Structures are given as structure tokens and as C-alpha cells.
Amino acid sequence: MALSFQPDKPIYLQIAAHMKREIIAGSYQPGDRLPSIRDMAMIYEVTPNTIQRALQLLEQEGILRTERTNGKFITADDALLRRLRGDVLRERAAAMTRELLAYGFSSEEILSALSDELKGADSQ
Amino acid sequence: MALSFQPDKPIYLQIAAHMKREIIAGSYQPGDRLPSIRDMAMIYEVTPNTIQRALQLLEQEGILRTERTNGKFITADDALLRRLRGDVLRERAAAMTRELLAYGFSSEEILSALSDELKGADSQ
DNA sequence: ATCACTGTATTACTTCATTGATACAGTGAG
DNA sequence: CTCACTGTATCAATGAAGTAATACAGTGAT
């Protein structure tokens, strides 16, 4: 793996975002145990502190649960994961809408631009 | 005015973004002269350097033009402004699409979420 | 008891970016 | 010429943030 990091954003944020995407996309299952902090540090080629910091963010969102001396686990709370999935979608859509309306674009323009993008993405 | 700044993003970027929105939204007209750097510094309540730095970004995009001892002006190039407007819309739509597809959302989910947001925004 | 494994906390380094102070330079009106 | 106005360049202070090093602490298998 070793995920190529963008130099302009903190690594711990990029790892947190990556993990969150994987979890929401279903690459990890509810209840799964994560690799240990030190193992993940090797995988991502960063120091353990950076991993810990990333995972703290996810734990604050309730996505992870810690067993003090045993490891960290994806929450087994299915409902929470489903809710999170919906929240992410709505929040991203809302942010984009807010921004583009501030630029003076009409609802029709925004919707049409998005349709075009999705058509392009589908055909790949 | 004095625009309340978010503490987490550099002020010069926020000012640049604000100006760009105003220009794309049509609050300034092509060819308009901007207030002097020192005047804008007073208006935004920041130091002149911060304004200069913000305006440099817009100048690099071709949105502004400088007359060395006379001031800065919105470009009179109408076509450029129209093109910029379209670019912004497409770029934002593309970024959001990329991100949400990485989360595993389907095109249908994305489109529907955006429609919902726009409906909400319209009715306000 | 010891070892190997978990996560946690503390501290410090170091780098980097943002902002501010100040000086430079050109133009045109009076 | 001088003043008042433009934008520009340079350099320093500060402050914040990210990362790394290291030590702490708990558990369970052998």
C-alpha cells in the first residue's frame, strides 16, 4: 500500500480520511479488528503517533472502539455506520451547494454540471 | 463589511476566494478599478501585505490586471470571465463527484442527494 | 516472572506559513 | 520640486502545527 500523500495536507488527516472512506465503502466490516498502531505505522510508513492521531479522530466519531490492551475495532453498531454514510453524503452535497450558490450559479446549472460529471465517470 | 474570517484558513486565501466569488457572481464589472491595496486593507481590517497576497492569486489567474502606479482592475476580457465561470462550476462538480465515488456512493445516490439540497435551498 | 504484545501520554524539535514593519519605486497634480 | 497617491520587495517575528522520540501502563501466554 503506502498511499502516496499529498504534501499540502497533514498526513494524519489523509490517513483518517482514507480509513473513513474504506469503512464507509465497506472494505472493513463492522466489528473487524484493525492492525495494531505499530503495524499500521509500518504499512503507511509513518510514525505510530501519526496513526494514533488519525485513529483518534475516527474514535471521536464513534466509528472505532478501543480495547485498551487488545487493539482497536470497527464499531459493531450497524445503524451508526448506516447513519454515518448518509450524513457524509448529505454534508458533502450541502457544502458544494452552498459554495456554488454563493458563486451565483442557479440550481439548474449546478444540477446539470453534476449530471455531466456523473455521465463522464460512469462511462469509464 | 469586514467579513468575518474563519480562524482555520489563511486570511489571504479567504479574501481571494471572496473576491473571486464577487467577480464571478457579477458584483464587479469587467474593467472596474478596485480600491487601492491600502484602502482594501482598511476595509477588510488586515495589513496591506495580506491584500496584496490575495490579489496576486487573482492576477495569476488573469482575473486582474495591474497598472503599476494607478491601481488594479478587473480584466476587461469578457470571454475569460465567462470561461472562468464555467471552469469553476465544472471543477467543483468534478471534485465532489470524485470524492463521493471514492466513498462508494452510486451515481443515483449522489444525484438524488444534490437534488434534495437544491430543493431545500430554493425554498428559502 | 518475564516477554511480547496492545494502546497512551508527554515532551521537544523543527519546520513552515502567515502576518507585520519598513523601505523602495513610479506617476501625476499642484 | 514636492506631495500624495499608486503598487512592490524584503526581511523579521511570531506562532502554530506536525512529527518524532521516548517513556508509561495494562494484559495474557509461556
Three-state DSSP at B41 gives helix
Helix or strand run (H / E) with residue B10 = none
Record the cell numbers describing residue A34, joined without a space: 484493525
Nearest to A119 by CA among B88, B101, B113, B120: B101
B20-59 confidence digits (pLDDT tens): 999 999 999 999 999 999 999 999 999 999 999 999 999 9
Strand D close to B60 by CB, under 7 A: no
For B87-122, write each residue's pLDDT tens digit. Answer: 999 999 999 999 999 999 999 999 999 999 999 876
Residues of chain A positioned with their CB less than 8 A from the CB of B93? 96, 110, 113-114, 116-117
Q: What is the CATH number of domain B11-76?
A: 1.10.10.10
Angle separating helix axes B78-102 and A107-122, nearest 10 degrees:
60
- Interval A74-124: pLDDT, tens: 999 999 999 999 999 999 999 999 999 999 999 999 999 999 999 987 676
Return the pLDDT at A3: 72
- Is the pTM higher than 0.85? The answer reads yes
pLDDT band at B2 (very low <50, low <70, confident <90, very high): low
Average pLDDT over residues A64-72: 96
- State the Cα angle at A28 between A26 and A32, rounded to 5°: 140
C-alpha A76/C-alpha B6 separation (Å) is: 36
Q: Is the CB of A12 under 7 A from strand D?
A: yes
Q: In whole angstroms, how far apart are CA A108 and each of A104, B21, B122, B123?
A: 12, 18, 11, 14
What is the pLDDT, as a whole number, of residue A94? 97
In this complex, which residue's CA is closest to the C1' atom of nucleotide C6? A69
B18: distance to nearest CA of chain A, Å?
9
Mean pLDDT of A15-41: 96
Which 3 state secondary structure label does DSSP give A73?
Answer: strand
Asked if B107 lies within 8 A of A122 by C-beta distance, the reply is: yes
